[in-house]
Amino acid sequence: MIFDSHAHYDDAAFDEDREELLNGLVDAGVGTVVNVGASLEGVRRTVELTEAYPFVYGAAGVHPDEVGALNEENFQWLKDQCRREKIVAVGEIGLDYYWDKEDRSMQKEWFVRQLHMAEELKLPVIIHSREAAADTLEILKRERDPGCPAVMHCYSYSPEMAKEYLKMGFYLGIGGVLTFKNGKKLKETVAEAPMERLLLETDCPYLAPVPYRGKRNDSGKLMLVAEELGRIKGISAQEVIRITEENARRFFRLRQEEER
């Protein structure tokens, strides 16, 4: 079944029908969701979702746009949340020079500290990087423990840079952008990347695939991404779903029977 490796069902966009939508995902072919906290409040809501739904796991981290809220006290709280049984990754963490909401030196400081936290807790990391390619790569090469699995969420850089990350053992998060007409770079990246390093993700409620572009996204729409990925790779959408589920379970260290 479809494994959505990066969702934000804690987002206010789902406030009116969250329960109905989540309860209907199995019928839409979705077996597992990792809900990703991007702020301290988002982590709180993510923990609640993991407690309410057997098939929902969580990632706990603070997005670069939100690091101004971090201090020593709530960083310790964040670390405590990462020790919960159903929190399976640290993320999303990284750098965002597109919005530049927080000072870049502060973004870097908390990116490194959360990387080290993941290393300490032996958790994989989910990396956000937007218009910060050089600094992100430099920090990851210098600060990341090579034994700490990592995924480049919503991969958006060049095929050449993807090769650098793949050489470092990274996974690439692939979502709705793959179906966009202007998604040429991502299509080229996917064509060259090994299937064993790709994860399906929605980033919902954002980045819905064509023909839903601009509308609210959800995990059920990942079938459209799987179909496009299969077209590029010359395999069936079902084979894409099978391989990416195996990849995600390996990345997050989850066994099938844990959800039953």
- For 2-53, the pLDDT digits (tens) are 999 999 999 999 999 999 999 999 999 999 999 999 999 999 999 999 999 9
For residue 31, the SS3 value is strand
Residue 255: pLDDT band by 50, 70, 90 thresholds? Answer: confident
What is the average per-residue pLDDT within 232-244? 98
Q: Are 150 and 170 in contact (CB under 8 A)?
A: yes
Of all residues in the chain, the percent with pLDDT exceeding 90 is 97
d(CA 167, CA 160): 11
Q: What is the reported pTM?
A: 0.96
Nearest to 10 by CA among 60, 70, 54: 60
- For 105-141, the pLDDT digits (tens) are 999 999 999 999 999 999 999 999 999 999 999 999 9
* Angle formed at CA 8 by CA 17 and CA 12, multiple of 5 degrees: 50
In this prediction, residue 133 carries a pLDDT of: 96
Q: What's the CATH architecture for 2-259?
A: Alpha-Beta Barrel (3.20)
Residue 176 has pLDDT above 50, yes or no: yes
- Backbone φ and ψ of 192, nearest 5°: -95, -20
d(CA 58, CA 207): 20
> For the chain, what are the domain ranges?
2-259
Q: Are 118 and 125 in contact (CB under 8 A)?
A: yes
In this prediction, residue 121 carries a pLDDT of: 97
